[in-house]
């Protein structure tokens, strides 16, 4: 069976930073493959485009430039927030607010987003809301381990807006979120 829209696919892969020799960002193994309905907009379009038409058991090996993956780093996504947002009774909550920490937040419209604490000042905390893989070229290599018709229930699952889909992988750079 060929992989096309509305098919349920399971796959395993290794994701490298840059090229095939780059740092391993994520590994999805056969014990817990990444499984999803193909073509429903949950994954990077370039990721799906490179898988389209493959058959069960087929291997894949492809590169996505940063612009075709999570985009380039955008300076407007690095913002300074009032320090008091991270304080409790005037004291900085250091268990949450420290340089390098990934902090779940919500914008004024109620959209969830994650930001990395970049700098802590006397009055402001600088946060980077770019995707952690923004500005990074990606290299995927793996194999299709199953393709079948998607069930009506699988097809009816609403597509989440934004973010990554959870895949149950052993991630070293995406907090368990992938593709």
pLDDT at 123: 96
The CATH number that applies at residue 118 is 2.40.10.330
Domain identity same for 119 and 139 = no
Angle CA 68–141–147, to nearest 5: 95
Domain extent, residue 99, equals: 75-128
The distance in angstroms from the start CA to the end CA of the chain is 22
What are the residue ranges in the chain where pLDDT is below 50? 161-179
Number of domains, the chain: 2
What integer pLDDT is reported at residue 42 of this predicted model? 87
pTM, two decimals, is 0.76
Let me know if residue 112 belongs to a domain: yes
Shortest CA distance to 122 belongs to which of 81, 83, 79, 93? 83
Q: How many CB atoms lie within 10 A of CB 78?
A: 16
Q: What is the pLDDT of residue 41?
A: 86
């Amino acid at each position: 069976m060929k992989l096309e829209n509305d098919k349920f696919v399971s796959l395993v892969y290794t994701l490298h930073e840059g090229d095939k020799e780059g740092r391993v960002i994520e590994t999805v193994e056969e014990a817990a493959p990444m499984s999803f309905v193909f073509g429903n907009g949950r994954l990077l379009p370039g990721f799906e485009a490179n898988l389209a038409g493959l058959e069960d058991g087929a291997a894949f090996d492809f590169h996505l430039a940063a612009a075709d993956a999570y985009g380039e780093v955008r300076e407007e996504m690095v913002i300074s927030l009032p320090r008091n947002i991270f304080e409790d009774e005037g004291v900085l909550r250091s268990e949450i607010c420290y340089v390098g920490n990934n902090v779940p937040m919500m914008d004024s419209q109620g959209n969830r987003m994650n930001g990395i604490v970049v700098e802590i000042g006397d009055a402001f905390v600088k946060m980077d809301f770019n995707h952690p893989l923004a500005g990074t070229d990606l290299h995927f290599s793996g194999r299709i381990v199953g393709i079948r018709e998607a069930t009506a229930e699988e097809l009816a699952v609403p597509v989440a807006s934004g973010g990554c889909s959870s895949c149950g992988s052993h991630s070293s750079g995406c907090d368990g979120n992938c593709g």
